[in-house]
């Protein structure tokens, strides 16, 4: 069943929606891909990645057109890839350039996937290549600013990616699931956090969720002495939350807004906390994240401490997703769920995911 009412009330039906191909996803870190062919399964498609001699990234179907030998188990010859079974040679465009045991090349072409490198990440368009519109990519320019504190990491989810999308759109779990990490010694994340006013802005037809802390002067201590002087006596407002950009990209932010900035001084101090979810198969998912603070210098010691905290906290989400998926898959007895106030943004995302599913699947009603 995939009608809206069922999707909103029933997580099993929700995560059974078909995977969504007409979107950009992260394929990996730029540093993952080299002159050594690498196979990776994304949205149930096996893909081979390699770089040309000039360093350009190539992403082709990882299946030789002759007898399905994986091209990731093959060798490069210049910019071409030569199947390790009977030696058929393919160009970076996926065309057959040579068949060693005959003079003529048969017709046929490997599927080629559009890619785009952004900061430390490689994005891939999983749908019809003609629809690969780069304007649909998130703006991640801040990931490339060497003056900002920035780090990234990788995890793996033993569960459907939508369970994690929903986790990201729900701020109420911070106080409980992350009690020992983000919540440890943090008075801002005790029960009072759950009572803060919420904003649900709509951007490109998607609803985000942000908790608002007015009079956030307590957070001034996180700024440098120079930044604190620049803030002066201005009132501060903290907005913490995020929004689904696309099925596989969630853009989070923790922003300290200066209500009355002095002339020439920053209007806000921003931390961007993004999550990139790329289904491997239906119920498993590649998971990358990035954290960037535009008001902190890239101090390696601070980065190491923050990386440790964020990695441990995100592992708590990985743990939750794994166990929810296990119960949803393995034990269907006593299955009845309720929705609560903290689900508002998550429910909106269920609507949007269903809308996207209908757009590319005539069978989804």
Binding site for Fe ion (CB under 5 A): 317
Q: Between residues 91 and 240, which has the closer beta carbon with respect to Fe ion?
A: 240
Instruction: To the nearest 10°, report the CA torsion of 192, 194, 195, 196.
Output: 90
Q: Between residues 101 and 340, which has the closer beta carbon with respect to ligand FES?
A: 101
- As measured in angstroms, the least distance from the Cβ of 93 to ligand FES is 17
Residue 276 makes CB contacts below 8 A (sequence gap 6+) with 25, 26, 121, 248, 249, 250, 287, 288, 289, 290
- As measured in angstroms, the least distance from the Cβ of 309 to ligand FES is 47
Distance set, CA 207 to CA 46, 169, 250 (Å): 32, 9, 12
Closest by CA position to 159, among listed 350, 354, 324: 324
Closest by CA position to 122, among listed 32, 247, 252: 32
- Beta carbons of 328 and 12 less than 8 angstroms apart: yes
- As measured in angstroms, the least distance from the Cβ of 71 to ligand FES is 8
Q: Indicate which of ligand FES, Fe ion, none lies near residue 85 (CB less than 5 to 8 Å, by partner kind).
A: ligand FES
Q: Between residues 91 and 165, which has the closer beta carbon with respect to Fe ion?
A: 165
Q: Between residues 37 and 242, which has the closer beta carbon with respect to Fe ion?
A: 242
Question: Coil, strand or helix: which one is 1?
Answer: coil
Q: Indicate which of ligand FES, Fe ion, none lies near residue 35 (CB less than 5 to 8 Å, by partner kind).
A: none
Q: Indicate which of Fe ion, ligand FES, none lies near residue 266 (CB less than 5 to 8 Å, by partner kind).
A: none
**CA torsion sign, 30 to 32 to 36 to 42?**
negative
Q: Indicate which of ligand FES, Fe ion, none lies near residue 86 (CB less than 5 to 8 Å, by partner kind).
A: ligand FES
Closest by CA position to 12, among listed 348, 267, 324, 228: 324
Residues 281, 148: Cα–Cα separation, whole Å: 35
Q: Indicate which of Fe ion, ligand FES, none lies near residue 66 (CB less than 5 to 8 Å, by partner kind).
A: ligand FES
Q: Between residues 69 and 182, which has the closer beta carbon with respect to ligand FES?
A: 69
Q: Between residues 85 and 295, which has the closer beta carbon with respect to ligand FES?
A: 85
- As measured in angstroms, the least distance from the Cβ of 175 to Fe ion is 11
Binding site for ligand FES (CB under 6 A): 64, 66-67, 69, 83, 85-88
Question: Strand 115-118's sheet: what is its strand order?
Answer: 24-29, 121-125, 115-118
Joined together, the tokens standing for residue 339 give 């929705």
Q: Indicate which of Fe ion, ligand FES, none lies near residue 295 (CB less than 5 to 8 Å, by partner kind).
A: none
Closest by CA position to 83, among listed 105, 66, 95: 66
- As measured in angstroms, the least distance from the Cβ of 72 to ligand FES is 12
Q: Between residues 30 and 98, which has the closer beta carbon with respect to ligand FES?
A: 98
Q: Indicate which of Fe ion, ligand FES, none lies near residue 317 (CB less than 5 to 8 Å, by partner kind).
A: Fe ion
Residues 95, 110: Cα–Cα separation, whole Å: 7
- As measured in angstroms, the least distance from the Cβ of 277 to Fe ion is 13
């Amino acid at each position: 069943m995939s009608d809206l009412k069922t999707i909103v009330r029933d997580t099993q039906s929700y995560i059974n929606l078909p995977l969504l191909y007409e979107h950009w996803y992260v394929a990996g870190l730029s540093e993952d891909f080299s002159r050594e062919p690498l196979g990776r399964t994304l949205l149930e498609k096996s893909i081979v990645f390699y770089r040309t001699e000039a360093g350009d990234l190539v992403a082709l179907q990882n299946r030789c057109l002759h007898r399905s030998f994986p091209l990731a188990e093959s060798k490069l010859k210049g910019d071409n890839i030569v199947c390790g079974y009977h030696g058929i040679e393919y160009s970076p465009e996926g065309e057959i350039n040579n068949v060693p045991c005959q003079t003529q090349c048969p017709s046929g072409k490997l599927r080629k996937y559009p890619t785009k490198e952004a900061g430390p990440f490689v994005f891939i368009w999983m749908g019809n290549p003609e629809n690969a519109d780069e304007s649909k990519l998130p703006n991640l320019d801040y990931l490339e600013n060497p003056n900002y504190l920035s780090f990234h990491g990788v995890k793996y989810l033993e569960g459907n990616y939508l369970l994690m999308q929903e986790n990201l759109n729900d701020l109420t779990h911070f106080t409980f699931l992350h009690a020992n990490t983000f919540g440890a010694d943090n008075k801002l994340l005790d029960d009072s956090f759950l009572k803060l006013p919420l904003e649900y802005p709509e951007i490109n037809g998607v609803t985000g969720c942000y908790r608002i802390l007015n009079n956030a002067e307590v957070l001034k201590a996180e700024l440098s002495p120079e930044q604190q002087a620049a803030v002066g006596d201005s009132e501060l407002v903290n907005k913490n939350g995020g929004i689904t950009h696309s099925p596989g990209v969630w853009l989070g932010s923790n922003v300290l807004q200066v209500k009355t900035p002095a002339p020439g001084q920053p209007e806000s101090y921003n931390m961007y906390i993004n999550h990139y979810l790329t289904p491997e198969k239906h119920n498993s998912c590649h998971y990358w994240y990035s954290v960037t603070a535009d008001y902190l210098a890239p101090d390696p010691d601070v980065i190491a401490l923050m990386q440790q905290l964020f990695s441990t906290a995100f592992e708590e989400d990985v743990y939750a997703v794994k166990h929810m998926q296990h119960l949803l898959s393995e034990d269907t007895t006593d299955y009845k769920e309720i929705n609560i106030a903290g689900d508002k943004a998550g429910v909106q995302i269920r609507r949007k995911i269903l809308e996207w599913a209908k757009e590319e699947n005539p069978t989804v009603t």
